[in-house]
Chain A
């Protein structure tokens, strides 16, 4: 225990020192070593936690047979579809409700009523309405990703700097230019945050939806492997989601940095 605390302390320290590169690999390396040590020592049964090497073997086999790619591609396509739908609706409605008070007054109640319902609770209805394979899943994903996007975009419009509003008033800036040059750029960091959180939600929803129904996708692969007690395959599936999700988030983050150039973000003290 003491060793772990010490290592954690050293890790924190190295981060605080502003180090990147190899320092990022310290914690994963330690965890991996721990994992290997625990499993190699025979402390846990492989069916509960297979060793890293076993997982690697499973990964190689699944990658080779095309099983992994097939399922991942199916999930990926659903995420993209659902997320795209959510992005369009979330940004559109978030902007709309933020800009037009009448729209807000008439629709905010309904939206706030639907928001607390977990997306997965829609599954029975979604299957009835949109079919068991693609439609229902895309619907669930879109629903799950919509709310973080929508909420952030609305907040982004709401927090438009009052000083800039005043400035636009004094200069009699036309409404279109005010929206394009003040409201939208000001909301951009929020929009990007919303999209990133939305994407993470999309991945959660796709797996949840696939766990309960369907014949394809990472979620299906996970339930299937669990039923056959193939714990190593379960872990491969989980890691695959993590890696793909992280990669997509990186793409969005890079995009955000390019678009929101005027902001320097706080990286910790």
Chain B
């Protein structure tokens, strides 16, 4: 039954099989992930939800290559992840813009060496993608939270990664900005044809964006259940099927907490 949910669109882009990931806590090792298995297809949008502390951010850090000390195999197209790589981009919870660099410089920060003109064109194109073309020379301190996070998205995209990892990217934004950025993100996903893995605690966001919603159980984190979202896009949050699915996921999460 579970295997039916592992539908892959273009083969496994990302194969996750983490036997164990532990952290050194004050009173010995703390298990963050255990027996975590997940397959993600090419161009798939997977949303991972779970209570805070369930290890979903840890999972994202492992995929990003920031945390290579784990037992198991997390592989991108069959190659085990041992460190960061430009094939994976990441957007963190907070924008992480360098305050002393302009918006354009922050985006260019991600680019490998290249000619100045080439870089400028790439940066400009990506600022346009996130609708910030007029803010190239602004400093992060002059931006709103939503704008700053859009710069972070542009920076993550500028190397044309095949997989974009999003770690609760809209969690700190106000509701209106969040809705707008969700829409923009979906447009980017559609246009750039990339794989996206988003960690969130917002169930509605997960259902609105994902092809699939993965519910993680609490510590040690593992996949509790998966929900395929077979709703056409653009999705309406008021749609009966949408609401039903949202409620089902909500119950599942609460059952885990209970």
**A residues whose Cβ falls under 8 Å from a Cβ of B:** 163-164, 166-167, 169-174, 177, 181-182, 185-186, 188, 261-264
Contacts and interface: CB of A to CB of B under 8 A. Distances in A.
Contacts of A170: 64-66, 84, 88-90
Contacts of A173: 109-110
Contacts of A186: 100
A186 B99 CA distance: 9
Contact of A172 (B85, B94, B101): B85
B109 A262 contact: no
A142 to B, nearest CB: 30
Contacts of B64: 170
A173 B155 CA distance: 12
Interface of B: 64-66, 84-86, 88-90, 92, 94, 96, 98-101, 105, 109-110, 112-113, 139-141, 155, 159
Contacts of B101: 181, 185
B84 A177 contact: no
B96 A164 contact: yes
A195 B196 CA distance: 47
A188 B98 CA distance: 13
A177 to B, nearest CB: 7
Given A181-B98, A182-B98, A185-B100, A169 B113 contact: no
A110 B140 CA distance: 41
- Most B Cβ at <10 Å: residue of A181, A186, A261: A181
Contacts of B112: 172, 174
Nearest to B61: A166
Contacts of B85: 172
A221 B251 CA distance: 84
Given A170-B66, A172-B112, A262-B139, A164 B86 contact: no
Nearest to A161: B96
A163 B92 contact: yes
B92 A171 contact: no
